[in-house]
Structure 1
């Protein structure tokens, strides 16, 4: 796979962003091949340390980060911000772009053969590195992810809908299969880590209780729960099948602002979701209107089909006494 252009000729990529997108595509293509080899490609799941935010780093986290930083040099990217690094790196003083990346999302799943991915976000570069990223998410000019699964796929938006590509293993190119992907409006699926139920706020518990009550509850509908613990995999399912993803804040130490990162994960996913005619909030506020206070800031995250996200917001807008009444009457987890 020596072709420098990893995209099929019909890929509608803005000329200004093409060098950076080609670098992302090349590294994604190479990572896909290496991941597919599993242990034949080395001890990719080996723990090698902690990242800047205290999370355990796997060997593949570091390998992916180094590969993206290396290939993005000379592509117009001035500032490179990675979840795996403490601060912003300057790749090219003459560059005009700022790129944030989670090089390997879901790395805890490497050895279990579950879909993992890369999440990226592109903005205009300012004179200062960190300040280029501490701005509202709606200022992103591109966002997307690469998912390494049974098929390697890339979903990306340049602000005019979501483009869906699949990597053809025979040609080594990402081929466009859908130029306007949209989230289905109806779905009976939601994704949340139910093991944290006791730590959630009352509005979140009341919402989930009503879903679990099924056809006999206030929603009058049976739901299925999904949880993969890989944000890229969760996002891909919702973009394809619809539904709802929730990672709320809770009362555990370190989770009071949620666990997912604004710059590297939530802002780019939110841009994709909105461009696919969905919605993304922190349970009440639009994610793309939020400004991160620091490079590795976290936020609660809820996204998916518009009506489902709006219903979660409605539960949070209820007065405390009404939420307490809902929870008291329909709390299915009560002893």
Structure 2
């Protein structure tokens, strides 16, 4: 793999001598450095004292912290010590941390997305968003369109970083022998259409009607209004779902629903939905709440929750249409389809 461009070469070329870009490059490099250590910890699991068990506390948003949540946050904070940031926001902290007020960027991150999967040896990851900062402004109040860069690291069979610097999406995989990330996919594009969708179907009874309508259309398959068979996926790890969409297309839905605590969605706007939306749009896809473009939203709190629907643009637009124009629903019911239980 010696002929592959390294992440460090990529960020160095991007930065040039521009102060803002230099800070962005330093932040990306720091996340890469931290992720190698986190990947090692995950790979060793219980042998490194990582069990996936509850740490004994809750994060700022009320979720039970796992032991690796805390370790990952500590590792990332240490790696970012030399990066010039004005403010730092982590899922694991109640409020943001102030840095150098004159620094050109602010950074928000989720140190370990999908940590509930650790005990079952499934994919988890790290997500980050880098925003510009102007002296005197309140950090983390701008829309997602203001992001300079966004990325996520997937700790799976391979450890890979998905990165956008506002000029498309590239994927780098960790070369464990050399302990550096190397480019494996350049300018990734998400297919406009898809035969896959990802949603936790056990919550069907709690969804709004537009979400039910979309899933009903997919479930009807080739006998339904879409005249096409679909496959349903659900990993319960945002980074894993996003990576799959980037590689082979698809649409991911984590909608708001009627359960207590889910009325405004469940994913965090600042350090989950915003960076994922930037990545997906940079790859030719779309990201929405169902009614609003994710990147047009501005946080009113660093842990604000939001619905997230993202992926192949044609399916995302169909789901938006169902939300904004309920009359557009076909009301298809797979039970009574041409090849259903009740044939004529």
TM-score normalized by the length of structure 1: 0.92
Change (3 A) 1:89 1:44: farther
Conserved in 1, the CA contact under 8 Å of 2:8 and 2:29?
no
Conserved in 2, the CA contact under 8 Å of 1:182 and 1:276?
yes
In the alignment, which of 26, 29, 32 is matched to residue 33 of structure 2? 26
* Residue of structure 2 equivalent to 1:86: 94
* Residue of structure 1 equivalent to 2:254: 247
In the alignment, which of 23, 48, 61 is matched to residue 69 of structure 2? 61
Shift of 1:152: 0.3
Residues 98-107 or 20-29, more deviating: 20-29
Aligned-partner Cα distance in 1 for 2:213–2:194: 19
Deviations 1:229-249 (A, max 9, x none): 000000000010101000111
In the alignment, which of 307, 315, 323 is matched to residue 316 of structure 1? 323
Runs of 4+ in structure 1 deviating by more than 6 angstroms, as ranges, are: none
| 2:60 maps to 1:40 | no
Change (3 A) 1:295 1:332: farther
In the alignment, which of 77, 92, 95 is matched to residue 85 of structure 2? 77
Aligned-partner Cα distance in 2 for 1:299–1:128: 27
Aligned-partner Cα distance in 2 for 1:144–1:330: 39
| 2:105 maps to 1:97 | yes
* Residue of structure 2 equivalent to 1:330: 333
Deviations 1:13-44 (A, max 9, x none): 42412221211110001111111111111134
Aligned-partner Cα distance in 1 for 2:61–2:276: 20
Change (3 A) 1:10 1:138: closer
Change (3 A) 1:237 1:255: same
* Residue of structure 1 equivalent to 2:193: 186
The secondary structure found in structure 1 opposite 2:7 is coil
Aligned-partner Cα distance in 2 for 1:196–1:7: 40
Q: Matched residue pairs, number?
A: 323
Aligned-partner Cα distance in 2 for 1:300–1:29: 31
Change (3 A) 1:7 1:44: farther
Conserved in 1, the CA contact under 8 Å of 2:269 and 2:303?
yes
In the alignment, which of 209, 218, 231 is matched to residue 225 of structure 2? 218
Conserved in 1, the CA contact under 8 Å of 2:210 and 2:326?
no
* Residue of structure 1 equivalent to 2:9: 9
> 1:155-166 alignment to 2 at 5 Å?
155-166=162-173
Change (3 A) 1:92 1:69: farther
Shift of 1:177: 1.7
In the alignment, which of 170, 182, 192 is matched to residue 177 of structure 2? 170
List alignment gaps of at least 5 residues for structure 2: 1-5, 17-21, 337-344
* Residue of structure 2 equivalent to 1:298: 305
* Residue of structure 2 equivalent to 1:3: none
* Residue of structure 2 equivalent to 1:287: 294
Deviations 1:131-162 (A, max 9, x none): 31121000000000010000000011111101
Conserved in 2, the CA contact under 8 Å of 1:274 and 1:280?
yes
How large is the RMSD of aligned CA atoms in angstroms? 1.8
Deviations 1:150-184 (A, max 9, x none): 00000111111011101001110000122311112
* Residue of structure 2 equivalent to 1:115: 123
Shift of 1:331: 6.8
Conserved in 2, the CA contact under 8 Å of 1:238 and 1:244?
yes
Change (3 A) 1:174 1:141: same
Shift of 1:8: 5.1
TM-score normalized by the length of structure 2: 0.90
